Amino acid sequence: MVWQDTIIAILTFLFGYALIPQVYQGFKNKQGIIVIQTGFISFVGLYILAFVYLTLNLYFAAAMVLFTGTLWYLLLFQKILYRK
């Protein structure tokens, strides 16, 4: 494991952790408060980045980027589900 894998994984986990309250509040209040474009570009971009990290054997970073990408997907899902 290279040190970059650890640093990228930790920071990406923190970015994902910061999204958890947003996802929780979205389901609790039945609101999708992000713009569809923001959610779509973020989740697709993060999934692509996870694939790139896998090709570089940065497994922890890839896992955390998938985690954060999935949270962005949930925010996008909320926007579509609770559209008014």
User: Could you give the domains of the chain?
Assistant: 7-81 (1.20.1280)
Please check whether residue 58 is in contact with residue 2, taking contact to mean a CB–CB distance below 8 angstroms. yes
Quick count: other Cβ atoms within 10 Å of Cβ 77? 16
Q: How confident is the model at residue 83 (pLDDT cuts 50, 70, 90)?
A: confident
- The confidence score (pLDDT) of residue 64 equals 96
Mean pLDDT within 4-8:
93
